[in-house]
Every structure is written in C-alpha cells, then in structure tokens.
C-alpha cells in the first residue's frame, strides 16, 4: 500500500526564536502510533476546550443574562490553536500527532455525507463542477499573468496557480513531484496559500454577513473560493452549520479536478524538457484523485437508500462534528504569523491579487446561479 505524506504544521520550537533552530531542519522519522499520541491529544484538547468555551459563553448569556457574544467552537478552536502556535510554541514531540489533523478533516468529510441526499449531491455537486470549470479557466489564466507581471519564477507561478485554483496545499504537494519544482518554490507557495487561507477565515464571514448571503449560497462561495480544504471547511462552518456542509460539497467537487490540472501542468513542463514525461495518464489521474470523496459519496448513497434511520443519521452527523473538532484546532496550530513576513512580498502579492479576483468571480457566479434559479 502506498504511503501518504502529510504536510507538517509550520510551528517553531520556541516562539522567541526568529530563525528555525538547527535541529528543526532534520527530517522527521516515520511516526509510530505512540509517537502520534501527544499531538493528537493536543488537537483534541484544544478542540474540546473550544467546545467548553462555547458552552460557557452560552450559559453566561442565557442563565446569567451577561452581554457575552455567541462565539462558535470553530472560532475558539482556531484562536486557541493560533495562540499556542504563535505565542507558546509547539514542541517537537507534538508535531507528528498534529499532522494527523488531515485524517480527522477527511473523516469528518466522509461522515458528513450522511447529511446529503444523493439528488442534492448530484444537483449542487454538478452545479459546483460547472462553476469550478469556469473558475479554473479564469484563475489559472490570471495567476499565470500575475506571476509574469511580478516576475516570479515560472514554476513558483505554476504552483501558486495550481494551489489557488484547486485545493491549496494538497494540490501543491501533488504538483511538486509532477512538475519537478524546487523545494524552496514549494515551501513559498504553501506559505502563501496558508497565509491567504488564514485571511479568508476573517474576511469571508464578514463579507457574507454584509451581503446577507444565505447559508447555501455562502457555503458554495466558500467552497469555490477558499483554497485549502481545512481553511475552506472552517470558513464555511464559521458562517453556520448549514453553510459548512454546503462548503464541503462545493469543495469536494473542486478537489476532484486536481488530477486533470496537475496532469496539464506536468505535460506542459515535460514538453519544455523541465519535468519527466507522464507515461500512464489514466493511472496518474487515479493516483492524484482525492479518494476520500468516494467515502463521502458512499455514505451519501447509503443515507439516500434508507440504510440508516433518522436517529442514526443524526448520530453520524454528530460524529462528523466531533471529527472536525481536532481538524479546526489543527488549522490554528499550523498557521504561523511569521510566514506573513518570511515569504517575501511578491508571492504574497500575486496570491492576494489572484485570490481577490477568484473571490469576486466565484461570488458573481454564485449570485448568478441563485438569481437565475439554477441553484435551489
């Protein structure tokens, strides 16, 4: 069975050190199960604390009538993760376990399939595929143009275009080997995408509220415009539970394009003699396809076929939220504000301009879909 490489969280051993300590550059050994425990415990600990804080503020507001704002556990988990990562620092012992946030995220997405009837998946998922196709064509073109204007290295431009048009870090990691890019370009592109994801967590809900967007429309927009899957799901959940699940549907539709886009870039760079030729294209597409989507579809099909009672569907849905709890903590833990200044201004400028363009285009597409009755 193939192994999977999970991007490690960007966290310093010490919050006071401006440069990475020498031993932090040493490759991490393959994780053993006991080695994962401290980081997994930290993920769940932060997530649970976020849930407790949400409950505490609810009690203060309803029982004691104190003017405390309602803050969702999603926000608490991300904020607590950010505080730990940026001010306290994450010790090396926690890192392997923190990297499992991706497993919890994908498990949550698989389980949330129970909340969708297959006809919704086909209708909204199909609409998402159509919107993604438009978004892809425009965003890849604009990012390539911006990369040229800002004189970025061509392969860095390719990585930024792939990351911002499909699914962030996963797409960049998938493209790294296919287009034979430098480790440095890959790191810069990942840092830019994660920084932009952190910005989206703050800006998207504010824009959604100011435009009085409905849960489904906002969820579609967040799924189509926010790059990295974890940040996208969190951005949707910040707006509401319903928005969160529609975000997941749009995001999974978008992620399903990853193989085609990476293959396109691999063929392009191979034609220039700067990457290896792809010999078996169908196998390449299958290898790059995000297979957890199949689990999401399987649960959705079972739910539609009446395999579960309503109570059981509610339980599966609750389990998905428990799985998202450590995933959202992971979003905060691997976001390091130092990356804002460390990566240089050009990749970030290209990323911001490109993302603003993508956000406006996808917002327009979503509004058009709802105003013309295409979405329901």
Partner 1 sequence: MATPETTRPAQPRHGLKLPINVDLLAIGIGLALAVLIRFGVIHQISF
Reading phi first (left if > 0) and then psi (alpha if -120 to 50, else beta), residue 290 is in beta
Question: x/- site string to partner 1, residues 335 to 364, per CB under 8 A?
Answer: -x-xx--xxxxxx-----------------
- Joined together, the tokens standing for residue 22 give 């020498």
* DSSP-assigned letters across all residues of 293-362: HHHHHHHHHHHHTT-S-HHHHHHHHHHHHHHHHHHHHHHHHT--TTHHHHT-HHHHHHHHHHHHHHHHHH
Name which position in 10, 84, 136, 159 contacts partner 1 (CB under 8 A): 10
Q: Which of 37, 284, 322, 370 binds partner 1 (CB under 8 A)?
A: 322
Total residues binding partner 1 (CB under 8 A): 67
The pattern of x and - marking residues 37 through 56 that bind partner 1 according to CB under 8 A reads --------------------
Q: Give whichever of 189 and 217 is closer to partner 1, judged by the CB atom.
A: 189
What is the Cβ-side half-sphere exposure of residue 179, based on CA atoms within 13 angstroms? 31
Q: Are 330 and 43 in contact (CB under 8 A)?
A: yes
Crossing angle between the packed helical segments 229-239 and 168-179, to the nearest 10 degrees: 170
Which residues ranging from 208 to 247 are in contact with partner 1 (CB under 8 A)?
Answer: none
Evaluate whether 286 touches 312 at the Cβ level (below 8 Å): no
Q: Provide the residue count of the chain.
A: 376
Q: What is the DSSP secondary structure assignment for residue 228, as one 8-state letter?
A: S
Give the C-alpha separation, 163 to 119, whole Å: 30
Tracing tokens 């910040």 back to the chain, one arrives at 238
User: Among residues 156 and 365, whose Cβ is nearest to partner 1?
Assistant: 156
Q: Does 110 bind partner 1 (CB under 8 A)?
A: yes
Question: Of 4 and 280, which has the nearer Cβ to partner 1?
Answer: 4
Of 119 and 312, CB closest to partner 1: 312
- 240 or 295: CB nearest partner 1: 295
Residues of this chain, 61-90, that bind partner 1 according to CB under 8 A? none
User: In the range 122-161, which residues lie near partner 1 by CB under 8 A?
Assistant: 151-153, 156
For partner 1, which is the closer residue by CB, 77 or 173?
A: 173
Tell me how far apart the alpha carbons of residues 355 and 234 are, in angstroms, rounded to a whole number.
Answer: 17
CB of 374 to partner 1, least distance (A): 31
Asked whether the CA dihedral 248, 338, 103, 133 is positive or negative, the reply is: positive
* Shortest Å distance, C-beta 108 to partner 1: 9
The yes or no reply on residue 31 touching partner 1 (CB under 8 A) is yes
**Candidate list 82, 171, 191, 250; residue touching partner 1; CB under 8 A:** 191
Residues that bind partner 1 (CB under 8 A): 1-8, 10, 20, 24-25, 27-28, 30-31, 95-96, 99, 102-103, 106-107, 109-111, 114, 151-153, 156, 173, 183-185, 187-188, 190-191, 290-292, 294-295, 298-299, 302, 307-308, 311-312, 315-319, 321-322, 336, 338-339, 342-347
């Amino acid at each position: 069975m193939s192994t999977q490489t999970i991007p490690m969280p960007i966290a310093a051993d010490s919050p006071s050190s401006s440069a990475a300590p020498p031993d932090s550059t040493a490759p991490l050994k393959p994780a053993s199960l006991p080695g994962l425990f401290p980081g997994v415990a930290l993920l769940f600990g932060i997530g649970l604390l976020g849930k407790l804080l949400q409950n505490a503020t609810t009690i203060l507001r309803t029982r004691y009538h104190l003017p405390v704002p309602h803050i969702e556990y999603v926000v608490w988990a991300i904020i607590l993760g950010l505080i730990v990562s940026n001010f306290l620092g994450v010790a090396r012992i926690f890192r392997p376990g923190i990297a499992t946030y991706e497993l919890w995220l994908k498990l949550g997405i698989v389980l949330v399939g129970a909340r969708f009837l297959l006809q919704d998946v086909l209708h909204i998922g199909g609409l998402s595929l159509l919107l993604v196709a438009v978004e892809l064509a425009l965003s890849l073109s604009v990012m390539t143009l911006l990369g040229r204007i800002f004189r970025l290295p061509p392969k860095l431009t390719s990585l930024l275009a792939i990351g911002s048009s499909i699914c962030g870090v996963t797409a960049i990691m998938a493209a790294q080997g296919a287009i034979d890019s430098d480790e440095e370009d890959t790191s810069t592109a990942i840092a830019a995408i994660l920084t932009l994801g952190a910005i989206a967590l703050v800006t998207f809900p504010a824009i959604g509220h100011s435009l009085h967007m409905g849960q489904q429309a906002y969820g579609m927009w967040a799924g189509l415009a926010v790059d990295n899957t974890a940040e996208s799901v969190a951005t949707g959940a910040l707006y509401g539970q319903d928005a969160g699940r529609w975000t997941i549907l749009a995001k999974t539709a978008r992620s399903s394009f990853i193989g085609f886009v990476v293959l396109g870039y691999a063929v392009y760079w191979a034609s220039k003699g700067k990457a290896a030729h792809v010999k078996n294209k169908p196998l390449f597409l299958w290898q790059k396809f995000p297979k957890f989507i199949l689990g999401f579809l399987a649960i959705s099909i079972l739910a539609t076929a009446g395999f579960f009672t309503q109570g059981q569907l509610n339980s599966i849905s609750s389990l998905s939220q428990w799985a998202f709890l450590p995933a959202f903590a992971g979003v905060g833990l691997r976001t390091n504000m130092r990356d804002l200044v460390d990566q240089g201004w050009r990749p970030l400028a290209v990323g911001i301009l490109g993302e603003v363009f993508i956000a406006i285009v996808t917002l327009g597409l979503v509004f058009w879909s709802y105003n013309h009755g295409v979405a329901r």
